Amino acid sequence: MSTAAEELYSLLVPLSEDRLIVPRACVAEVVRFSKSEQQEGAHDWMLGTINWNGRPLPVVSFEGAIGKDVPVTTGRTRVVVFYAGTGKLKTGYFGVLTQGFPQLVRVNRDVLKLEAKDGWPESAPVLCRVRMINEFPMIPDLEKLEEMLARESVQA
């Protein structure tokens, strides 16, 4: 039986056709998506920057970053604001487009099992896909995503 110390509060982040699972501690805030300022010549997955708490926040489409189509934004579209942990982004934060509000879940080794380590391009910011009861979310490689952003030089 798992103890509370072996559980991790996580967020299931809804994408257009998939979900991500990330530790809650990686997320600063979830905000409404607003029209972004697209940088000329940037990749399609780089959606530009939005104003977040008076500072520019680079926003990406995770689907686009793994080689899928960038989803159309709707009234349910939100931005999950992640802490930038590598120090490569001057902003200290970056956003990932989501199709609704993330769901808070508690996970432990009894409910989380490795499902797949492939199925996306090698350059994609994905560590693996896991099985969590009846869900199959991806665990994103947030450091790789941050490096991709830094290379796009969308920094303030």
Predicted confidence (pLDDT) per residue in 53-81, tens digit: 999 999 999 999 999 999 998 889 999 99
pTM confidence score: 0.89
Answer whether residue 3 is part of any domain.
Answer: no
Answer whether residue 2 is part of any domain.
Answer: no
Whole-angstrom Cα distance, residue 118 to residue 127? 9
With CA atoms as reference, report the closest residue to 79 among 106, 97, 66: 97
The CATH code of the domain that includes 24 is: 2.40.50.180
43: confidence class by pLDDT, cuts 50, 70, 90 = confident
155: confidence class by pLDDT, cuts 50, 70, 90 = very low
Whole-angstrom Cα distance, residue 69 to residue 72? 9
Answer whether residue 90 is part of any domain.
Answer: yes
% of the chain beyond a pLDDT of 70? 92
Give the pLDDT confidence score for residue 122 in this predicted structure: 87
Domain count, the chain: 1
Three-state SS annotation for the chain: CCCHHHCEEEEEEECCCCEEEEEHHHEEEEEECCCCECCCCCCCCEEEEEEECCEEEEEECHHHHCCCCCCCCCCCEEEEEEECCCCCCCCCEEEEEEECCCEEEEECCCCEEEEECCCCCCCCCEEEEEEECCECCEEECHHHHHHHHHHHCCCC
Give the pLDDT confidence score for residue 121 in this predicted structure: 87
Domain ranges, residue 45: 8-152
